[in-house]
Copies of this chain bind each other. A is one copy, B any other.
């Protein structure tokens, strides 16, 4: 009985890869066991349940995204920062669709509080420092920013834009231009 060397870490990472290749909903304990050529029950020493596994993949994705965001935003401000922020999400979703889908998993409050999700919000607020908005417009702007980016990325991923004429890169640029203009010129 050769030991494969399973670890929670390795399982989660392999689960994330599987999600990217086959879709987040294809991430099951059985599929993962097959991938490691191991019996399903063996996973349960490293992961509490199938839901636990999915949650850990979500946390990994949130962590990776936060890392990328921090890197992309360092030294940038204004529209430069805005573009970098938005592109981190879009590029990540393109390269890691399964991980991105995992990041949308609804977490229970305690888990969410301990996740990297808070850093995402911090990052969005940091960008808006380059614009001149006081509360409560500030919060509205943060939420608008998050909504546009998440909404666009998920509609694009879901094929919602496939039929109309201009390519999505073109409209994406224009939308970022428009967002920048809006933030510089927020209505009273």
Residue numbers of A with Cβ under 8 A of B are 104, 106, 109, 112, 117, 121, 135-137, 139-144, 146-152, 154-155, 158-162, 164-166, 170-171, 174-175, 177-178, 180-182, 185-187
| A146: B residues at CB distance < 8 A | 151, 155, 160
Q: Which of B135, B141, B166, B187 is within 8 Å of A181, CB to CB?
A: B187
Bound-state CA distance A171–B139 (Å) is 7
B residues less than 8 Å from A174 (CB atoms): 136-137, 140
Say what secondary structure dominates the interface of chain A. helix
> Are A140 and B154 neighbours in the complex by a CB distance under 8 Å?
no
Tell whether A178 pairs with B170 under 8 Å between CB atoms, given A139-B165, A149-B151, A154-B151.
no
A112 to B158, CA, bound (A): 11
> For residue A140, which residues in chain B have a CB less than 8 angstroms away from its CB?
166, 170-171, 174-175, 178
Contact check, A135 vs B187: say whether CB atoms are below 8 A apart.
Answer: no
List the B residue with the shortest CB-CB distance to A170: B136
- Cβ-defined contact, B171 with A178, below 8 A: no
The complex places the Cα of A178 from the Cα of B138 at a distance, in Å, of 12
Shortest CB–CB separation between residue A44 and chain B, in angstroms?
Answer: 22
Q: How far is the CA of A143 from the CA of B140 in the complex (A)?
A: 20
Of the candidates B143, B148, B150, the one whose C-beta lies within 8 Å of that of A171 is B143
Contact present for A154 and B150 (CB under 8 Å) = yes
C-alpha spacing A159/B115, complex, angstroms:
14
Give CA–CA (A154, B152) in the complex, Å.
12
Bound Cα distance A35, B88 (Å)? 44
